[in-house]
Amino acid sequence: MYVFNNSLAFAGTYSSVGRELWFYTPVEATAVDYIATLGGIQVYPNPFNDAITLSGLQNGQEYCLTLNDVLGRAISQYHLAARGTIGSLYLPAKIARGTYLLKLTAGETNETLRIVKQ
């Protein structure tokens, strides 16, 4: 292992091929989970662009969804009366790329999920 052109490099030797050189490039992971579960409700995609889908809603149940920044400050709040088991939530385009906390309140249930905007 050594540094070559400002990159971490690894060398390997194979008897039939000769010598090879591999480079390690660190990448930043942005995905939390493609499908995440929040209080029994699936939230996807994660990371998202402009909308998330909520699956597993209880028909007739009222939900309150609050989008917070990582410091816990409320960015947006949504009230949803489920008219089926799947719903979409379109988030404001002005929301910057980054990590957010999505809080779900339904009856006695309070749960929070980390989501990422691409």
Residue-wise pLDDT tens digits, 62-96: 999 999 999 999 999 999 888 888 888 888 888 99
Q: Which residues contact 51 (CB under 8 A, 6 or more apart)?
A: 88, 89, 90, 91
Question: What is the pLDDT of the chain when averaged over all its residues?
Answer: 77
The single-letter DSSP state of residue 54 is E
- Residues of the chain above pLDDT 90, percent: 28
Q: What is the CATH number of the domain that holds 52?
A: 2.60.40.3080
Q: Note the pLDDT of residue 37.
A: 76
Torsion of CA 114, 70, 58, 80, to 10 degrees: -140
21 lies in some domain: no
Instruction: Look at residue 77 and tell me if it is in a domain.
Output: yes
Report the pLDDT value the prediction gives residue 14, as an integer from 0 to 100.
47
**102 is in which domain, residue-wise?**
36-117
For residue 12, tell me if it sits in a domain.
no
How many residues appear in the chain? 118
Asked if the model's pLDDT at residue 12 lies above 70, the reply is: no
Phi-psi region of 30 (alpha: psi -120 to 50; beta: other; left: phi over 0): alpha
If one counts the domains in the chain, the total is: 1
Q: Does 85 map to a domain?
A: yes
Considering the domain boundaries, does residue 25 fall inside one?
no
Residue 33, pLDDT > 60, answer no
Is pLDDT of 100 > 90? Answer: yes
